[in-house]
C-alpha cells in the first residue's frame, strides 16, 4: 500500500555551523585531546541560525521498494520541523513540534495526529523533537555532556562511546577531527534488535555555516534493512518560512 511506503520514508527522516580551526597537527595525525574537549568543540559549532529552508533529493530502498522523491525541509529552531515529499504531486506533509507529530497523505487520504509513540514504535528507540532536529543539523542526538564517554580515534575521527551504555540501547558518535561536526551516530536497541545509523559523508559551507550535504540513514530490524539517502539541493537560513499545516477534510485517521 502506498501509504505504508511513504509513512516509512517519513519516519526514517528521523529514523550546522561555522567550522573551527583544524584539530589535526602538521603531520596529519589526529591530536590527542580529552573527550571533554571534543564535546566542548562539538557544541561550539552547533547550529546557531533561527530558520532552515532546505531541499533534498531522497533515495529510498527497503529491499522491496526503491523510490526517489524530492523532500522540502523547513525548521524553525526549537519550535517546528516541517516536511513535504513530492514526486510530480504531493505525497505527504508532516509537522513536528516538541509536543506533537502531525502527518497526512494526499494519495491515501489518511492522516495521523499524536505523540512520539509512533516514532518509537517504528524505529525502536526513544526520539524526541530535539533529537530529530539535531539529526538534520549534523549534531549529536543525545546529550554528550551527560553520558561520560570514552574516547577513541578511528579514521581520523574522534569516537565517543558512553562508559555505561543504557539498558535499552547502545550508542556511539563519530566526530570529525577538523570541524567537529558529526561523521556518524548510531543508536541500537538491545531488546528489539533494531538499530538506527546516520552517516554524514559531506558538509557544505553556506554563508559561514556547515550544513550536511549528504545524510545516509540505515534502519535495521532483524533481517530487514531500509535505507534513505539524502542529497542536499539547496539551503538558506534566517528567512521567513511558512510552516502552516492543516489536515484536509474527509481524510481518515490512521489507527496504529
Give the residue from 126, 160, 168 showing the smallest Cα distance to 144. Answer: 160
How many percent of the chain have pLDDT more than 90? Answer: 55
Calculated CA dihedral for residues 209, 186, 229, 226, nearest 10 degrees: -160
Domain assignment of residue 190, yes or no: yes
Domain assignment of residue 124, yes or no: yes
Section 215-236 average pLDDT: 89
CATH number at 241 reads 2.50.20.10
How many percent of the chain have pLDDT more than 70? Answer: 82
What pLDDT, on a 0 to 100 scale, did the predictor assign at position 148?
82
DSSP state of 91: E
What pLDDT, on a 0 to 100 scale, did the predictor assign at position 18?
31
Give the residue from 67, 6, 11 showing the smallest Cα distance to 217. Answer: 11
Domain assignment of residue 203, yes or no: yes
Give tens-digit pLDDT for 104-154.
999 899 999 988 776 665 554 567 899 889 999 999 988 898 888 889 998
Domain assignment of residue 166, yes or no: yes
Section 225-252 average pLDDT: 94
Domain assignment of residue 255, yes or no: no
| Residue 17 confidence (pLDDT) above 50 | no
Give tens-digit pLDDT for 170-190.
889 999 999 999 999 998 876
Out of 36-40, 66-70, 121-125, 127-131, pick the least confident.
Answer: 121-125
Model-wide pTM > 0.85: no
What pLDDT, on a 0 to 100 scale, did the predictor assign at position 235?
97
Number of domains in the chain: 1
Indicate left, alpha or beta for 5 from its phi (over 0: left) and psi (-120 to 50: alpha): alpha
Range of the domain at 161: 2-15+19-250
Count of H helices and E strands in the chain? 4, 14
Residue 194: band (very low, low, confident or very high) from pLDDT cuts 50, 70, 90: confident
Residue 8: band (very low, low, confident or very high) from pLDDT cuts 50, 70, 90: very low
What pLDDT, on a 0 to 100 scale, did the predictor assign at position 92?
92
The mean pLDDT value of the chain amounts to 83
Domain assignment of residue 105, yes or no: yes
Domain assignment of residue 256, yes or no: no
Section 14-33 average pLDDT: 46
Q: How far apart are CA 33 and CA 36, in angstroms?
A: 8
| Residue 50 confidence (pLDDT) above 80 | yes
Domain assignment of residue 53, yes or no: yes
What pLDDT, on a 0 to 100 scale, did the predictor assign at position 180?
95
Q: How far apart are CA 116 and CA 110, in angstroms?
A: 18
What pLDDT, on a 0 to 100 scale, did the predictor assign at position 168?
57
* Coil vs helix vs strand at 44: helix
Section 9-33 average pLDDT: 46
Place of cell 532483524: 222
Q: Rounded to 5 degrees, what angle do the CA atoms 230, 232, 238 make?
A: 125
Give the residue from 24, 55, 44, 80 showing the smallest Cα distance to 242. Answer: 80
What pLDDT, on a 0 to 100 scale, did the predictor assign at position 63?
82
Amino acid at each position: 500500500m502506498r501509504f505504508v511506503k511513504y509513512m516509512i520514508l517519513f519516519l526514517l527522516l528521523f529514523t550546522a555551523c561555522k567550522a573551527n580551526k583544524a584539530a589535526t597537527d602538521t603531520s596529519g595525525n589526529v591530536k590527542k585531546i580529552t573527550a571533554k574537549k571534543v564535546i566542548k568543540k562539538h557544541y561550539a559549532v552547533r547550529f546557531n541560525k533561527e530558520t532552515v529552508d532546505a531541499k533534498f533529493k531522497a533515495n529510498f530502498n527497503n529491499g522491496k521498494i526503491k523510490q526517489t522523491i524530492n523532500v522540502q525541509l523547513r525548521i524553525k529552531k526549537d519550535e517546528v520541523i516541517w516536511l513535504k515529499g513530492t514526486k510530480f504531486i504531493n505525497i505527504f506533509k508532516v509537522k513536528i513540534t516538541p509536543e506533537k507529530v502531525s502527518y497526512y497523505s494526499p494519495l491515501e487520504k489518511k492522516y495521523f495526529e499524536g505523540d512520539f509513540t509512533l516514532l518509537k514504535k517504528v524505529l525502536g528507540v526513544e526520539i524526541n523533537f530535539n533529537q530529530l532536529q539535531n539529526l538534520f543539523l549534523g549534531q549529536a542526538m543525545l546529550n554528550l555532556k551527560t553520558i561520560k564517554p570514552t574516547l577513541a580515534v578511528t579514521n581520523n575521527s574522534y569516537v565517543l562511546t558512553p562508559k555505561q551504555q543504557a539498558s535499552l540501547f547502545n550508542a556511539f558518535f563519530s566526530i570529525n577531527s577538523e570541524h567537529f561536526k558529526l561523521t556518524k551516530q548510531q543508536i541500537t536497541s538491545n531488546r528489539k534488535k533494531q538499530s538506527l545509523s546516520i552517516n554524514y559523508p559531506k558538509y557544505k559551507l553556506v554563508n559561514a555555516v556547515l550544513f550536511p550535504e549528504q545524510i545516509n540513514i540505515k534502519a535495521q530490524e532483524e533481517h530487514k534493512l531500509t535505507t534513505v539517502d539524502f542529497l542536499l539541493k539547496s539551503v538558506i537560513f534566517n528567512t521567513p518560512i511558512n510552516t502552516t499545516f492543516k489536515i484536509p477534510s474527509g481524510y481518515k485517521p490512521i489507527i496504529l
